[in-house]
Structures are given as structure tokens and as C-alpha cells.
A and B are shown apart, each in its own frame.
Chain A
Amino acid sequence: MRRCLFPPVRPPLPRATAVVICATAVIATPAAAQVDLSGYWQRIRHEWEQPQGGPEIGDYSLYPLNEEALSRSHAYDPAIEEVQQQRQCWPHSIGYAMFSLAPMHIRHEENSIHFRVMANEAIRTVWMDGRPHPPEHALHTWYGFSTGAWEGDTLVVTTTHVKEGHVRRNGVPHSDLMTVTEYFTRHGEDLLTMVMVFDDPIYMTEPLVRHMTFRYDPDATMPEYPCEERELVELGGAQLIPHFLPGENPFLEGANVDFFSGEEVNVGEELRR
């Protein structure tokens, strides 16, 4: 059986294997740390919470997407997750992974800070020793390459070299040229805020800013996230990639009604064809 690293966006299934790893929160304070962020942090509820199970298809009206991103998003057919062997159990990239429902664990190391934001072995390293980012031709990964620095009491993390992924779990893409800047600030004993700025020259008209707040939770543990590769739905062989032709996505009808104006946005005539 194989397990994957998706954040548990829905309560575990009865038939899914839900194993809880008993982890001990080791709280150490190395000299390098400006502010101690170590330990388990449990996310709190936010005003932007989406329906349990993820956003609706076609719902990205408040995202700063250009026509390229809209074309990709409109073409997105969730069936692609069902039929493609290689995509099954892919993790979320940094474009989405930090918004996991699972707790986040932070550990200060000698010259780095480690974040565990999803289950199992997915550890994100933020280098604090001033090393440069890799050259352009280096490998890109799901979490990218991160360096950090303290600006006052705020940890500022810069991430490049991320694989193409999504910023919303309904097909809204980010490119592999995206740069992410994160600001982590601890407020007293209990609260930690994270502001993420996604700057993507390929798919966004302006930087996308998202935020999240965590509450310190020394009793938290990191749940193992079960994911198994499933039987493939046979839809016609390896050359069939589920997608909707421009203007023919049946899920888009009525989507993207602007909350303020009531007008339909992001599904303009030019994209319906």
C-alpha cells in the first residue's frame, strides 16, 4: 500500500488507513533563531475558508489571473486526477501545501529552519546561512528552494525553483517561474501569522497574497496522510488527457459571480468561444 502527502482536506474515510504518528514536539532554541518558532502549530479557522472538500470548479473569481491562467483553469477537468497513473498521489506544491488542514511543525537547526506541513517525510528546508539560490538550470521541486532572513521579529522566506503546480485546488495553475515570499510573525505565546505572496510572471496579473494564522499546540501530532494509487479509469489509452475545450466546460455556467457586483467575471465571451 502506498501513501501520499496530500493534506487531509476532508475527514479521513472509514476505509482509508488513518494512522497517527506519535511525535514529540522538541522545542529547542538554537542561538541563530531570532524568535523561537519551534513546535507544533495548529491552523485556526479563517474568514476565507472554502467548502470542505475544496473549492468548486470554476470558482476563482477573486484570484488575479491573466488570460493564460483562465484558459488553463477553464480547461481543467477533475477527471484527470482519476485517469492518470503518474498524477495519482502527487503532492501539492508550495502554491497550496502551506494551507493544509494538518498542523505545521517547525524546528530550528544550526543553519536552517525545517517546516513539516504535511504528513510523512515531506520536510521543507529554509536555509538561513545566506547561501545563494541555485542556477536557473537546476532541478525544480514541489517545495522549491527556500532561503530565510530575519527582518526584526519576522522571518522572511524567499522560495524559487518550484515545480508547476496549483494555487487553488480546482485547476488554477502557478508556473515554475513563480517566486514566493512568506512572512512568519509570532504574536506572544499563542499565535503565529503567515502571509504568503505568490509572484508568478506567467499566470498572474499581480501578486496573489494569502494569509493564515496558527495557534501554538504542544499536544499536536502529525497525522499520517493516507493516499493509495487507484485503479485507473480506462478512457482510451495513454494519449487521452481529460480536459474541456475552450467554451465547453459544463461546470462553468454560472460560476464566478462577483460577490460585490453580482456580475460574472473571468468567463468572458472571448474565452467561451
Chain B
Amino acid sequence: MTAGPAPPRSPAARHLPGSASRKPCVARRNSSAASCGFRGTRSRPGNVRRRLRIVVHSLQTLVAAACCAASLQTFAQTDFSNVEIVTHHVSGNVHMLVGAGGNMAVSVGEDGVLLVDNQFAPLTDKIVAAIRTLSDAPIRFVINTHVHGDHTGGNANFAALGATLVAHENVRARLAAADSPEGALPVLTFDEEISFHFNGEEVSIIPTVSPAHTDGDTLVYFRESNVIHTGDVFVTLSFPVADTSNGGRLTGHIDVLNQLLELSHTAAGFLSGFGNAPGAYPERPVGALGRPHDRSDTLIVPGHGRLADEVELLLFRNMIVVIRDRVRTWAERGMTLEEIIAARPALGWEARYGADTGPRTTRRFIETLYNEVTAGE
């Protein structure tokens, strides 16, 4: 490996045909050990408590499960009969549940069951049945990562089963404004980080540093199990979406992904994703991949899509930044929105994340970025 200077970036340094000069190689380079150690300085937001505002709303009359379907008329015609709820052990106490709608995370243990998000109301019975394969304990808390019906649709059902609904105060306000049945409204709200001490670990409920997908986005960090449920600020199936009608802000995703990168960490960095060295981590059970994952690798349950870790958070952030830069630069040069869309700023990721139909189209992504960067964000 070379210890040379950073590759030249000026056009003067470019390689000309027939010239003897070489373009810079892209080998990563070593440096002095003095630069090591900055990972250890990562902040842990839970250490400093600012003004904490938890509001416990009066317990509403519990509403029968049937009525909450009315608030989900969009999905009333959807046939959920073929949906299967699959459980997937993530780490420690935490399992991921996959069905139709947003991914769920569930903590099971001596204290009972804590559920993050709950998909659509008609799926509640199946979700409960899936949880029962993991634990017979009562479902005590249900946390909403944000307001959307594919994450909160079962709220009233779970409240009827005795769970306490917990969400950002903006989630409650927006659910209330949307004429949700009373039983679907969170009874415990917050606008600062709060902690549950549950099943032997601290579970931090962390509002995002910026509105991103919505203005009620919440991260749920199971600190001992070392798993974060991100809600829809991070997904692996599509471009990010800012629901501007619910206070979302696309460029806010960059800040929130940086927040997630601060929270998460991988063992010795480079080992992320190997984790299968025999004897290296003997205490770890063999996971679904047939290999142990290092205990200190934070695992990420995205709002939609597959299990991930710090690497995918970083790649997703980089993608948004690169496409934002293209849109912003072209807008500054006077290109119109339609010209920018025609120039395909998302090329490079369209096949992986793009869509022409549905709520998460490439066009919507570019349009929202354009609106934000031309508004000076």
C-alpha cells in the first residue's frame, strides 16, 4: 500500500492517452496510529437528559378491534388472508417480524413483550400468534415509530389486548387529527428521549434529530441486544420518502442517518459482516445465517426491507447525498425540475430503489429533493 498523498483531483493531473503518467490508483492507505481511536468518542445521547416531557394521556375507553378498520379504509379491500408473519431472531432479546407493511421488532423476556410497530389492523391476530411462538407473556408496550397506517394500523387492537401505546407526541396529534378511534391513540407520548428498562436492558426511545420521513420519527434502540429499529427513515427497498403532509423533510434523512451512524457501531469496524471466525465469538449463538454476528455489531431493523447494519446505513446516506448534490447543482445552474428529472440524477440507483408507481416513485423522490434544495435547504 502506498503512503503517498491524496489522489490529485485537478484536471491537470488527469491521464492523457499515450502519456507516461498514471492516474492515481485507488488503494486505501495507511496512516499513523495517532489517528486511531475516534470511534470511542461517539456520543451516547442517553447520557445527558434534557428537559423530559412525557405525557400520560388518560386511558381511553378501549375500542373493539372491529372499529379500527374504519380508519384504514385504504386497506379495507386489501386481502390479508395470504399474509404470513415470519419471525427472525436478530440478537439478544430482539426478533424481527415481517409480514405486510412495516417491519416490526419485538423484545421478549421475563418482563413480557414490547412491540415496535404493528402493521395493519386485520393482521393483529396473526402478529399475536407469531409473538406467541416466542413468548406467552403479556404484550405490555407497543411503540409507534411514526404515524403511518402500515405501522400503526393495529394500535387499537393491541390496546384492547392490554398494551400501552407509546409514541412521539406528533404521532398522537396526527392520529387524532385523522379521526383515528380513541383506542388507537397513544396513551404515553414524549418529545425527548425516554428509556424503558425492560427484559434486562435499556430500550431507548429516541426522537430523530430532524423531521425526515415524518415529523414524528422515532428510533428504538435496544442497547444490550444492540439492535435499532429505524422506522421508515431507513429502508432497503426504495428511495427514501418524505411525507410532507405529515411534516417530513427529505434532506432530514441525511441528518437522521448520521444520527444513526453515531448510535450504531461495529466491532473493530472492519469485522462487520464477517463475524464467523471460529472461536472468535464463542458466546454468540449461530444465527439465521449459520454464523455468529459479533455482539458489538449494531444490527438495524429497517422500516421496510431486510436486516442491515452500519454499512448499509452509510451507503444509503451516501446515495441521498450524491443525488441531492446533483439536483442542487443542476438547479443552481438554472435547470428546471422537468429538465432535472429528464437528466436522471438518480441513475446508478434507479434499478435498485426506483419505482414508477406506488407511493415511493423515483419522480417523487427527485421532486421533493428539488423543492427542498431550491427552498435553500
Interface residues of A, Cβ cutoff 8 Å to B: 1-6, 8-10, 12-13, 15-16, 51, 53-58, 66-69, 71-72, 75-82, 84-91, 114, 121-125, 127, 131, 134-143, 145, 161, 163-164, 169-171, 175, 177, 201-203, 226-233, 238-241, 243, 245-246, 250-251, 253-255, 257, 273
Kindly count the residue-residue contacts between A and B in the assembled complex, taking CB atoms under 8 Å apart.
244
| Cβ-defined contact, B348 with A72, below 8 A | yes
- How far is B270's CA from A2's CA once the two chains are assembled, in angstroms? 9
Chain A binding surface SS class: loop
- Which residues does chain A contribute within 8 Å of B352, judged by CB atoms? 68, 175, 177, 202
Give the contacting residue for A12; candidates B1, B15, B23, B96; CB below 8 A. Answer: B1
| Cβ-defined contact, A142 with B274, below 8 A | yes
| Cβ-defined contact, A231 with B314, below 8 A | no
- Let me know if B361 is at the binding interface, CB within 8 A: no
| Cβ-defined contact, A121 with B277, below 8 A | yes
Given A171-B26, A245-B329, A255-B15, CB of A13 within 8 Å of CB of B3: yes
In whole Å, how far is A77's beta carbon from the nearest beta carbon of chain B? Answer: 7
| Cβ-defined contact, A10 with B27, below 8 A | yes
- How far is B352's CA from A143's CA once the two chains are assembled, in angstroms? 20
Given A9-B1, A123-B274, CB of A138 within 8 Å of CB of B307: yes
- How far is B128's CA from A149's CA once the two chains are assembled, in angstroms? 40
Interface residues of B, Cβ cutoff 8 Å to A: 1-3, 6-7, 9-11, 13-17, 22-36, 38-39, 86, 88, 96, 98, 103, 254, 258, 261, 268-278, 280, 287-291, 293, 299, 305-312, 314-315, 317-318, 321-322, 325-326, 329, 343, 347-352
Given A4-B270, A89-B270, A241-B322, CB of A228 within 8 Å of CB of B291: no
In whole Å, how far is A126's beta carbon from the nearest beta carbon of chain B? Answer: 11
Interface core residue of B27, B36, B98, B254 (most chain A CB under 10 Å) = B27
| Cβ-defined contact, A1 with B33, below 8 A | yes
- How far is B79's CA from A26's CA once the two chains are assembled, in angstroms? 58
- How far is B15's CA from A66's CA once the two chains are assembled, in angstroms? 24
- Which residues does chain A contribute within 8 Å of B30, judged by CB atoms? 13, 15-16, 226-228, 230
Contacts A10-B1, A13-B3, A254-B17 given; 9 further ones with Cβ under 8 A?
Answer: A9-B27, A89-B270, A134-B288, A137-B103, A138-B289, A164-B312, A228-B36, A229-B35, A246-B347
| Closest A residue, CB atoms, query B330 | A245
| Cβ-defined contact, A231 with B274, below 8 A | no
| Closest B residue, CB atoms, query A53 | B25
Give the contacting residue for B16; candidates A10, A124, A175, A254; CB below 8 A. Answer: A254
| Cβ-defined contact, A137 with B307, below 8 A | yes
- How far is B306's CA from A246's CA once the two chains are assembled, in angstroms? 30
| Cβ-defined contact, B96 with A137, below 8 A | yes
Given A79-B9, A90-B270, CB of A71 within 8 Å of CB of B98: no
- Which residues does chain B contribute within 8 Å of A80, judged by CB atoms? 318
| Cβ-defined contact, B271 with A121, below 8 A | yes
- Which residues does chain B contribute within 8 Å of A15, judged by CB atoms? 3, 30, 32
Residue contacts A-B, CB under 8 angstroms, 10 given = A2-B268, A10-B27, A86-B310, A134-B290, A135-B88, A137-B305, A137-B306, A163-B312, A228-B36, A232-B35
In whole Å, how far is A184's beta carbon from the nearest beta carbon of chain B? Answer: 19
| Closest B residue, CB atoms, query A175 | B352
In whole Å, how far is A182's beta carbon from the nearest beta carbon of chain B? Answer: 18
Given A13-B3, A90-B311, A163-B311, CB of A142 within 8 Å of CB of B14: no
- How far is B35's CA from A1's CA once the two chains are assembled, in angstroms? 9
In whole Å, how far is B133's beta carbon from the nearest beta carbon of chain A? Answer: 16
Give the contacting residue for A227; candidates B270, B278, B289, B315; CB below 8 A. Answer: B270
Closest 3 CB pairs of A and B: A230-B31, A121-B277, A53-B25
Interface core residue of B10, B32, B258, B274 (most chain A CB under 10 Å) = B274
- Which residues does chain A contribute within 8 Å of B24, judged by CB atoms? 57, 78, 251
| Closest B residue, CB atoms, query A243 | B322
| Cβ-defined contact, A239 with B254, below 8 A | yes
Give the contacting residue for A51; candidates B7, B25, B289; CB below 8 A. Answer: B25
Give the contacting residue for A81; candidates B17, B26, B315; CB below 8 A. Answer: B26
| Closest B residue, CB atoms, query A122 | B274
| Cβ-defined contact, A68 with B349, below 8 A | yes
- How far is B347's CA from A54's CA once the two chains are assembled, in angstroms? 26
| Closest A residue, CB atoms, query B31 | A230
- How far is B11's CA from A90's CA once the two chains are assembled, in angstroms? 28
- Which residues does chain B contribute within 8 Å of A78, judged by CB atoms? 7, 24, 26
- How far is B276's CA from A161's CA once the two chains are assembled, in angstroms? 15
| Cβ-defined contact, A68 with B306, below 8 A | no
